[in-house]
Amino acid sequence: MNSLYKLRTAREFLKKSGIENTIREAEMIISRLLGIDRVTLYRDNPQIPEKCISKIDELLRRRAKREPLQYILGYTEFCGLKIKVGKGVLIPRPETELLVEKAIKIFRIQRINLPLPPHPPLGKGGQRGGSNSSLILHPSSFNLLDLCTGCGCIALALAREFPDAQVYGTDISEIAIRYAKENAKLNKIKNVAFIKGSLFKPVKKSLNTFDLIVSNPPYIKRNDIKNLQIEIKDWEPVKALDGGEDGLDYYRAIIPEAKNYLKECGCLMFELGVSQANGVRKMAEDAGFVNISLIKDYAGINRILIAKSSML
């Protein structure tokens, strides 16, 4: 069977199953199994070995059950990185790439304006990239922290951009931390450490240490989860989605604590859910943050909040 014939039948099968982007998804599944790119698929129209046909059909059946394509393929692209994902870890979204883009710009400014620390990094216990509940900071002029790191995509994108900085990611999910570590190895990024634990708990002994704290926390209202796409509500981890009754639980937990872990004039950055900007901004103001600003995404939604810790 040639590839283009199989592509046509795959598209028809996915369409009957209610999948929207049938052409793209059929292309990706077939290309993945054949180990070729989209151009080669159309240009050469290669023959598909019999053993590959049954494997393609298996993946198509999984997609027909509305399993996310990223889980089926085993990876997704994020800011030019290849990120492994699977059941138990949240799939990175395009909105989060915008958060990384803005964080890179902010941190470049921070590096220019902030003085070098007069003392070696603080903290005891733990190992680089380990799963201990405590963290040791490694020698670096600049330190970044990613809370609710998930598969590690934000931390890894920042670590790749700033190889002389030390980046840390924490997450309460053991599965997420495992994926994050695998993604660090996959992308050959070494200036990053992932530690299992809730929010700041793994860094309790490292106060006033970070130049930038960034987070894409769970922010979906609990009662809204049931209305999400099947691919999300039935497959992605609920704990990575559930932000409490109003979606703001994690912001309430992070914002008051964040000032204790930021250097003077350090920055706190969040991804926000729809209609959450005013509430989160008020929390930041009440906690004493200054120079608070909001950035809209490409749909015109206030998607990112940036706040600075005041001078001591």
Quick: pLDDT tens for 2-39. Answer: 899 999 999 999 999 889 889 999 999 999 889 888 89
Q: What are the tens digits of pLDDT across the range 56-93?
A: 999 999 999 999 999 999 999 999 999 999 999 999 99
How many Cβ atoms are within 10 Å of 21's Cβ, its own excluded?
Answer: 11
Determine the pLDDT at residue 204.
73
| pLDDT exceeds 60 at position 170 | yes
| pLDDT exceeds 60 at position 169 | yes
Residue 294 dihedral angles phi and psi, to the nearest 5°: -120, 145
- pLDDT confidence of 107, banded at 50, 70, 90? confident
Determine the pLDDT at residue 304.
95
Specify the DSSP class assigned to residue 220.
B
Distances (CA, A) of 296 to 118, 278, 305: 37, 13, 9
Distances (CA, A) of 32 to 14, 37, 98, 106: 17, 8, 27, 37
Q: Do the strands 143-147 and 192-196 form a parallel or antiparallel pair, or are they unpaired? A: unpaired
Distances (CA, A) of 67 to 45, 61, 152, 221: 27, 9, 22, 22
| pLDDT exceeds 70 at position 121 | no
Determine the pLDDT at residue 207.
64
Rounded distance between C-alpha atoms, residue 137 and residue 144, angstroms: 11
Q: What are the tens digits of pLDDT across the range 248-304?
A: 999 999 999 999 899 888 899 999 999 999 999 999 999 999 999 999 998 899 999
Rounded distance between C-alpha atoms, residue 252 and residue 254, angstroms: 6
Determine the pLDDT at residue 206.
66
Please give the average per-residue pLDDT across 136-163, as a whole number: 85
Range with the lowest mean pLDDT among 131-135, 193-197, 233-237?
A: 131-135
Determine the distance from the C-alpha atom of residue 227 to the mean position of all C-alpha atoms in its chain, rounded to a whole number: 22
Q: Which of 270, 219, 301, 309 is nearest to 102 (CA)?
A: 270
pTM over 0.75: yes
Determine the distance from the C-alpha atom of residue 242 to the mean position of all C-alpha atoms in its chain, rounded to a whole number: 15
| pLDDT exceeds 90 at position 205 | no
Please give the average per-residue pLDDT across 191-217, as a whole number: 88
Helix (H), strand (E) at residue 9: helix 3-16
| pLDDT exceeds 70 at position 111 | no
Rounded distance between C-alpha atoms, residue 82 and residue 161, angstroms: 15
